[in-house]
Chain A
Amino acid sequence: MSDETKESGPLLIWFTAVAFLIGMAAIFIYAPTEQMEGAVQRIMYFHIPAAWLAFFSFFIVFISSILFLWKKEREWDIYALASAEIGVIFCSLVLITGPLWARPIWGAWWVWDARLTSTLILWLIYVSYLMLRYQTDVGSMRARFAAVLGIVGFLDIPFIHFSVLWWRTFHPPPKMISPEGLGAGMDPSMVTTLMLSLGAFTLLYFVLMGQRIKVEKMRDEVERLKKDYLYTN
């Protein structure tokens, strides 16, 4: 690892911490309280960025899986695994913060509408992806099966995005990306706060990816040393 790479890690962590501090200040001080929903609407500043990060993570799994199947390089398999773990964590947070926001507004924790159900299916697909990775023996077959699942699972994401437009759902249509324009119909300070939160969460993705990739490479090193020196002697 070069000195430049070693130094960029802590710098990114500090940058992310500062971004979150600014984001939290914007969420709880700068952003106005929504008139109809009250303070609970501030959950949006966690819910939407968590959803963005889950989708982005699964997109990286999709790309890395294609590249792994094409190039057969372990590097892409590591990226896919690391991104899938992060995606599952943030998809879980979407499925937790959503009902916490829905309960006081809709009067129900959960409804089986197209958006919520397809998001739950996405979560189940990538949980099964991780189970496949953890439960089967290390090898290229495992990586290949996982890559196929990683690619197929991503096909659910466009379905999730358009579900609120294709069907009548409890879940509101996209707030940020709408036919009227970016953030149309939202207070500008709410849009700014949401953008800050999205930025902080995106930085967090790169921090978590960096850490997880480092650990997976370390595991490969342990396996290699065991195989080369301990099991052969």
Chain B
Amino acid sequence: MNNLEYLFAANVFVWGGIFYYLFRIKKYQQSLQNDLDLIKEAIKKGLQK
């Protein structure tokens, strides 16, 4: 009695969950960085006028 498929599925879910969360944080960070760059650019242009 080994039931390796259950052990395999548990591994897939654990690692999938961890990497999915890390990927989501990274994506959110990139989107915020883009916003931050755009805002800083807009502020710089506004100050130059």
Q: Which residues of A contact B (CB under 8 A)?
A: 37-40, 42-43, 46-47, 50, 85-86, 89, 92-93, 96-97, 100-101, 103-104, 204, 208, 211-212, 214-215, 218-219, 221-222, 225-226, 229-230, 233
Contact = CB atoms under 8 A, between A and B. Distances in A.
B12 to A, nearest CB: 10
Q: Is the interface of B mostly helix, strand, loop or mixed?
A: helix
A38 B7 CA distance: 10
Contacts of B21: 85-86, 89, 208
B7 A40 contact: yes
B36 A221 contact: yes
A46 B12 CA distance: 11
B48 interface: no
Contacts of B2: 38-40
Q: Is the interface of A mostly helix, strand, loop or mixed?
A: helix
Contacts of A219: 32
A168 to B, nearest CB: 25
Interface in B1-43: 1-4, 6-7, 9-11, 13-14, 17-18, 21-22, 25-26, 28-29, 32-33, 35-36, 39-40, 42-43
